[in-house]
């Protein structure tokens, strides 16, 4: 199984700021501290399987679509919190560029996620 190392603070703060429900967080990252337990000190890294990272992507795309449908929240307002989730990984710059592209605002977040993952795959 492939593993990636990501910044633990970016993961917790990004998903927490995006309003990811605690139940979804517990499914994605069992064994990691709850979002309020995050120390404010130095960043730490956490190893996630590729499947875990894919699950985060899927949960976030679903969450962004639901927020748009239920509250009219544009997905960029949510996606900005997860821009740093791939910092230090191959393709991180392309990930940020796709999610920050204003021309994609009207697309469904699932479509933007597919574009971002494709861009990352081409770089890696």
Predicted confidence band of residue 96 (pLDDT cuts 50, 70, 90): very high
Helices 109-123 and 92-100: crossing angle, nearest 10°? 150
Q: State pTM to two decimals.
A: 0.68
How many Cβ atoms from other residues are within 10 Å of residue 112's Cβ? Answer: 21
pLDDT of residue 27: 60
Predicted confidence band of residue 4 (pLDDT cuts 50, 70, 90): very low
- Residue 45: strand pairing partners: 7
Q: What are phi and psi of 37, to 5 degrees?
A: -85, 0
């Amino acid at each position: 199984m492939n593993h990636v190392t990501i910044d633990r603070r970016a993961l917790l703060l990004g998903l927490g700021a995006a309003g990811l429900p605690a139940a979804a967080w517990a499914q994605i990252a069992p064994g990691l501290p709850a979002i309020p337990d995050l120390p404010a000190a130095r960043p730490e890294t956490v190893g996630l399987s590729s499947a875990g990272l894919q699950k985060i992507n899927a949960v976030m795309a679903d969450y962004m679509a639901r927020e748009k449908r239920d509250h009219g929240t544009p997905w960029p307002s949510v996606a900005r919190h997860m821009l740093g989730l791939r910092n230090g990984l191959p393709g991180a710059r392309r990930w940020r560029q796709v999610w920050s592209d204003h021309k994609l605002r009207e697309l469904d977040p699932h479509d933007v996620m597919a574009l971002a993952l494709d861009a990352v795959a081409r770089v890696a």
